[in-house]
Structure 1
Amino acid sequence: MKSKFHIIVAVACLAILTACGGGSKKSDPVVVPQPAYAIKDVTVGGGTGSATLAEKGDLVAVAYTGYLYDSTKPDGIGAKVESSIDSGTTAPPFTLGVGGIVPNGWDLAVVGMRVGGVRLATLPDNLAYGAAERKAQTVLGVAYAAIPANSPLVYELRLVSVVKPNQLPNQPGGTTLVITELQAGTGAAATAGKTAVVRYTGWLYDRTAVDGKGKQFDTNIRTPAVDALSIVIDSSPLKVIPGFNLGVKDMKVGGKRTVYIPATLAYGSASPSTTIPANSNLIFDIELISVN
């Protein structure tokens, strides 16, 4: 009788372990199928010379809409996840071939486009946001789907402008603040006492670089999330370095600038972090989002 009981218990335990996967088996990681990188021209831009052609080293402005890749949909276009077109803006201008500011796939996809052209780019996750993820969000009243980790994406890219390296203004490298207007805004102006909301990227000034931009030390343009910075123009005390305040002052909403800030209007002889040495001249790309 005792031995029969032991057999019954053993059978019961075996059944439980089988049902539970043995009690120690770990679930396999989810593998997201990835499409091959591909581009498709929807509209070919204008011009025949190099002036309208996007090439490595050019400073380009691109309007975009991003979608989750869905193999069951035409061109793989699934749910919308982000868009500058919805807000009538572009991504911050970036130099082709440098990387680090926009998804790496853009560097590949924009090369060869002409101003006014529209191109669809299918990007596997290693050319998009990789393992980064973002929750669903609503921006300016437009709802965007979440971006799960390791998501392939499809982008509609519209080439708005091309600036060749030899057309970039000479970077002064001196003690005077220099503002280069990239795009004139049309909204409210960031005057004294107003609260300006901006997106920015900052670099150490490098006079050997074609655009003066050396090592990037800061940005509030996160991929895929975007964190805006709010500052009160001419506040006392200032929340930002004096040159940044002057660079934003009098901008209009929708405007974009490149601002050269000499060390005397930045951190001077101080070294605020390991990425900004003492007496550093700086360069910022700044986009004004709103003014209150």
Structure 2
Amino acid sequence: MTSPTALCAGRVVAVTGAGRGLGRAHALAFAAEGAKVVVNDLGVGLDGSGAGSGPAQQVVEEIRAAGGEAVAHGGDVATADGAASLVATALDSFGRLDTLVNNAGFLRDRMLVNLDEDDWDAVMRVHLKGHFLPLRHAAAHWRAEAKAGRVPEARVVNTGSGAGLLGSVGQGNYAAAKAGIVGLTLVAAAEMGRYGVQVNAIAPAARTRMTEEAFAETMAAPGEGGFDAMAPENVSPLVVWLGSAASAGVTGRVFEAEAGRITVMEGWRPGPTADKGARRSPAEAGETAAKLLAASEAPQPVYGAR
């Protein structure tokens, strides 16, 4: 059933990793606001193994059963062909693409001394490359539209993580990939604004396959009033708004979203500084650094640190 606000009526939205968890919640929420949705999912396991079309098709059937429009896409968006076909599926099925939500991912958690190269590469591939390639192909389409005089109201919502902002013990590969996604978001927002494209990122916290073990103690059953604080559906309203035309003027920003809380994250910016106007000795550099550190704010603790 479409929401009375129909915030995304007429828009076409592609969501990667939309067969389960956050991606599924996003796809259903966009459809409820009137969007036509391309539901991408490989149907892999938590560690990226295996594949199947079932999860994506199930979400498509859910959307259709509620009166919406959706198609499934089973391509691997961490490949050039898969990412290109995601954009092509939107254009072939619905004639346009307005919003891209990059969400696909999986985990290969290890402490650094036990983290092997394959686990590093696999997580970098699905998270970082799996964001870059769909963004690159969607951006090329939107730039061509703008140059043809059809400037879009295009939106990209990337999926970061608190792990990429603060770090997370046992997740060196995941944290590095998610930090890279934030950097990619900032660059894409700066480069694509002239073509009518806004790019933002979220750092969500919700109960999904990827988080149920890490946050087992904090992901309890619904509390007073039946509010399930860790339901992935709590994150989706912000994603839908960022993916709609209503978010005009918002780009290059990162938001934390958890339960009923939304936070605008303020990233790296200059803090205390000292300029001698000449080269320091190592001892002088150390003295200066110590004074600056004493005047600075302490960093937030790394997730999982004791």
TM-score of the superposition, structure 2-length normalised?
0.26
Structure with a larger share of its residues in helix: 2
TM-score of the superposition, structure 1-length normalised?
0.27
Structure with a larger share of its residues in strand: 1
Larger CA Rg, structure 1 vs 2: 1
